[in-house]
A and B are shown apart, each in its own frame.
Chain A
Amino acid sequence: MARRLLIVDDEETLTFSLYQSFILSKKDYEVATASSGEEALDKMSSAPFDLIITDIFMPGISGIDLLKKVKSDYPATEVIVMTAYGSDEKKDEVAGLGAKHYVEKPFEMKAVREMVFNILG
């Protein structure tokens, strides 16, 4: 069964390019995107994802709230958090909430892809 990856960010250029990157990686992943935390939770309720890559600062439900909700309702789902406004405090906070990785934008796509490959296989 294909592993499922959800990319969540209100920055459409980033979600589109990440989506393309994983489609082109020739891995047997089912990749989807969401432009908000609300849309991500909607998609999760239909069929949970194995991994979510989410931004922190989004209108509506923030990436932090999404991380909390996912970790409480879907504990098997791993989360990678990305942000354009990073700090040590934020990194510690998301690690404490159970995020697998924390990346600051703009990141090296290869590095993020490696993280995903390591988690999803």
Chain B
Amino acid sequence: MERMDRLATLGELSAGIAHEIRNPLAGIKTSAQVLEESFSPGDFRSQLVSRIVKEIDRSNKLLQRFFNFAKPNRPKPGFHSLKNIVDGVFLLLAPRLMKRKIEYSCEIEEGLPNIYIDESQFEQVILNLFLNAYDAMPDGGNLNVKTWYDKSGRVMAEQESKGVVIILISDTGKGISQEKLERIFDPFYTSKSDGVGLGLSISSRLLEENQSKIEVNSVPGEGSAFKIMLPFVQEDRQE
């Protein structure tokens, strides 16, 4: 509950900051773009102005992440193939994983039902988890995805007897200490030198918005495993 309060407060604060910064950014960007058009494309002044615009866009992307955390868009759920979503994210990262000699495996239970979820929000969650695994294995390793349908649904009290689809994403990376595990879903908490600390908090928040949950287990020096639990919804019964 305390964590939720902090999330709410930080979320509102982030949204307020983002709002106050985006307005001046809009003025600077529009002014720069008017100025840019007054120079010929080869003029160094045009190139300088173009850099101003690029830097504004870069800042805005960071703000957008704050926004996503502060107030995720309401989910637009539909029935989707879990395999297609996971495969799509893997294809995006495959060159990076190969370059780092990270072996990837994906085991999808045969006959797994489609999941009822906001596709783009769920893609973002899977992408965040894959990227974390990638960062945890600087010298290569294994990234494994395993999914199955738990008919009992006992892992989510409210889903008992309805069933739960489980996705386990595990890596053989550095692992996370118990002390860090307790804070891992907190906003702005990061152990990476270049991290913002929003990836997992946004993921957790997005899953909550989709009535789903995430848990983590980790052993330092051996690796981490993130377990996502999605409530099963009958495809002929959209809720």
Binding site for B on A (CB under 8 A): 11-14, 16-18, 20-21, 24, 57, 82, 84-89, 105-110
Binding site for A on B (CB under 8 A): 15, 18-19, 22-31, 33-34, 37-38, 56-57, 60, 67, 71, 73-74
Which interface residue of A18, A57, A109 has the most chain B CB atoms within 10 A?
A109
Q: Are A13 and B31 in contact (CB under 8 A)?
A: yes
Bound CA span A86–B56, Å: 18
**A-B interface pairs (CB < 8 A), number:** 67
> Which residues of the partner chain A approach B28 to less than 8 Å between Cβ atoms?
13, 106
Chain B minimum-CB-distance residue to A12: B27
Q: Are B22 and A85 in contact (CB under 8 A)?
A: yes
Q: Are A105 and B23 in contact (CB under 8 A)?
A: yes
Q: Are B26 and A24 in contact (CB under 8 A)?
A: no
> Which residues of the partner chain B approach A86 to less than 8 Å between Cβ atoms?
67
> Which residues of the partner chain B approach A11 to less than 8 Å between Cβ atoms?
23-24, 26-27
Q: Are A84 and B26 in contact (CB under 8 A)?
A: yes
Q: Are A106 and B34 in contact (CB under 8 A)?
A: no
Nearest chain A CB to B18's CB is how many angstroms away? 7
Chain A minimum-CB-distance residue to B57: A106
Q: Please name the 8 residue pairs, one residue from A and one from B, whose CB atoms are nearest each other, closest first.
A: A13-B27, A105-B26, A84-B22, A106-B26, A17-B30, A17-B31, A106-B29, A14-B27
Q: Are B71 and A84 in contact (CB under 8 A)?
A: no
> Which residues of the partner chain B approach A105 to less than 8 Å between Cβ atoms?
22-23, 25-26
Q: Are A57 and B19 in contact (CB under 8 A)?
A: yes
Bound CA span A85–B22, Å: 8
Q: Are A85 and B34 in contact (CB under 8 A)?
A: no
Q: Are A24 and B34 in contact (CB under 8 A)?
A: yes
> Which residues of the partner chain B approach A107 to less than 8 Å between Cβ atoms?
26, 29-30
Supplied contacts A84-B26, A88-B73, A105-B26, 13 more A-B pairs, CB within 8 Å: A13-B31, A17-B27, A17-B31, A17-B34, A21-B30, A21-B34, A85-B15, A105-B22, A105-B23, A106-B29, A106-B57, A106-B60, A109-B33
> Which residues of the partner chain B approach A109 to less than 8 Å between Cβ atoms?
29-30, 33-34
Nearest chain B CB to A82's CB is how many angstroms away? 8
> Which residues of the partner chain A approach B22 to less than 8 Å between Cβ atoms?
84-85, 105-106
Bound CA span A89–B71, Å: 11
> Which residues of the partner chain B approach A85 to less than 8 Å between Cβ atoms?
15, 18-19, 22
Bound CA span A18–B30, Å: 7
Nearest chain B CB to A119's CB is how many angstroms away? 18
Bound CA span A86–B19, Å: 9
On whether A110 and B33 interact (CB within 8 A), knowing A87-B71, A87-B73, the answer reads yes
Bound CA span A16–B28, Å: 11
Nearest chain A CB to B66's CB is how many angstroms away? 11
> Which residues of the partner chain A approach B18 to less than 8 Å between Cβ atoms?
84-85
Nearest chain B CB to A51's CB is how many angstroms away? 17
Bound CA span A103–B57, Å: 15
> Which residues of the partner chain B approach A12 to less than 8 Å between Cβ atoms?
27
